[in-house]
Amino acid sequence: MLLGRVTGTVVASQKEPLMEGLTFLLIRQLAVDNTEANSYVVAVDSVGAGVGEVVMYASGSSARQTSVTQNKPCDAVVMAIVDTWEIDGETVYRK
């Protein structure tokens, strides 16, 4: 999984029918020091994450292992909202 910040949303009315009703979150990847990396991904929300929140997302076939994404053409899913992370005993991020 990677860490990211939810920075926005994507709206797409014309889409593969299996994707109806899902929320597409625009996630900017975070480096371990909590700075924003240059890469992003559009991930389906499975935990009720909102814009501004720090999350973890899973990619590839693992993104289809939630109840909302199963058997769907989805290659990235937000599967957790992060409370804190620590590096070498120091808290880098706290919600």
Question: Tokens for 62?
Answer: 């693992």
* Closest distance to its own copies from the beta carbon of 5 (Å): 10
What is the CA angle 8-38-18, rounded to 5? 45
Q: Does 23 bind its own copies (CB under 8 A)?
A: no
Alpha-carbon radius of gyration of the chain = 14
Q: Are 30 and 51 in contact (CB under 8 A)?
A: no
DSSP character at residue 60: G
What would the two tokens of residue 21 be? Answer: 């009703």
Q: Is 81 in the site for its own copies (CB under 8 A)?
A: yes
Can residue 50 be called a binding residue for its own copies (CB under 8 A)? Answer: no
**Nearest approach, Cβ of 44 to its own copies (angstroms)?**
8
Smallest separation (angstroms) from its own copies to the CB of 86: 4
Which residues would be at the binding site for its own copies (CB under 8 A)?
1-3, 7-16, 18-19, 24, 26, 28, 31-32, 40-43, 46-48, 51, 56, 58-66, 69, 71-77, 79-89, 92
